[in-house]
Amino acid sequence: MKRTWIASAVITGLLLAALPLSYQLWPARTPVAAAVDAGQRIGGPFELRDPSGRAVTHESFDGQWLLVFFGFTRCADICPTTLMQVAKVLDGMGEQGDWLQPLFISLDPDRDTPEVLAAYTTFFDERILGLTGTSEQIQQVADAYAVYFRKVPMGDTYMLDHTGAVYLMNPQGELASLIPLRTAPTDAIREISTALAQSRDG
């Protein structure tokens, strides 16, 4: 247990130490906001891997409210900022926060292994579940959520350009709300609480 904790701390430290440099190098510092066309179906079947390496599918979250965000651990600004906002939302919602399962789905499966994701997401909040998979699995779930992403070569490495937003999915697997990046936690809490209340009233 102690050895695992030390390894996680080292990985997290290395990731955070790289953020300032990554921010300077990344040409797309502000991802394009995700857009959903009227009547567009968002969400659908997927199979990914959780931090323990176990298979996770859409059916694993049947009956749950989800906060879904796509990104990658080497993201310089938007991803860590958004995950901090998600953590604040969970805390600010009190007991209602227990009704939400936040998912951070990596768009960089080549580098974001389950171990890396585990160290990264728990740094922000232990309730955030990091998911990864094969390139094909990631492309499938990204398509299902209308997420655009592409590799941006940076010498002998690369960064990712991608759209971004937080998807609030209801227990039926349907999009309840698309929360834009940079939304203040208080505004996000209000929007999520309204969606939960409308669901109960319905």
Coil, helix or strand at residue 95: helix
Residue 4 lies in a domain: no
Q: Say if residue 85 carries a ligand binding annotation.
A: no
**pLDDT tens, N- to C-terminus, the chain (202 residues):** 444 444 444 444 444 444 333 333 333 333 444 555 445 678 889 999 999 989 999 999 988 999 999 999 999 888 999 999 999 999 999 998 889 999 999 999 999 999 999 999 999 999 999 999 999 999 999 999 999 999 999 899 999 999 888 999 999 999 999 998 888 999 999 999 999 988 776 5
Domain around 75: 30-196
State how many domains the chain has: 1
Q: Say if residue 187 carries a ligand binding annotation.
A: no
The CATH number of residue 137's host domain is 3.40.30.10
Residue 146 lies in a domain: yes
Q: Say if residue 58 carries a ligand binding annotation.
A: no
Question: Are the C-beta atoms of 78 and 30 separated by less than 8 Å?
Answer: yes
Residue 13 lies in a domain: no
pLDDT the model gives residue 16: 41
Residue 2 lies in a domain: no
Q: Which helix (H) or strand (E) holds 81?
A: helix 78-92
Rounded to two decimals, the pTM is 0.80
**Which ranges constitute the DSSP H helices of the chain?**
2-17, 19-25, 78-92, 114-124, 135-144, 185-201
The C-alpha atoms of residue 104 and residue 179 are separated, in whole angstroms, by 15
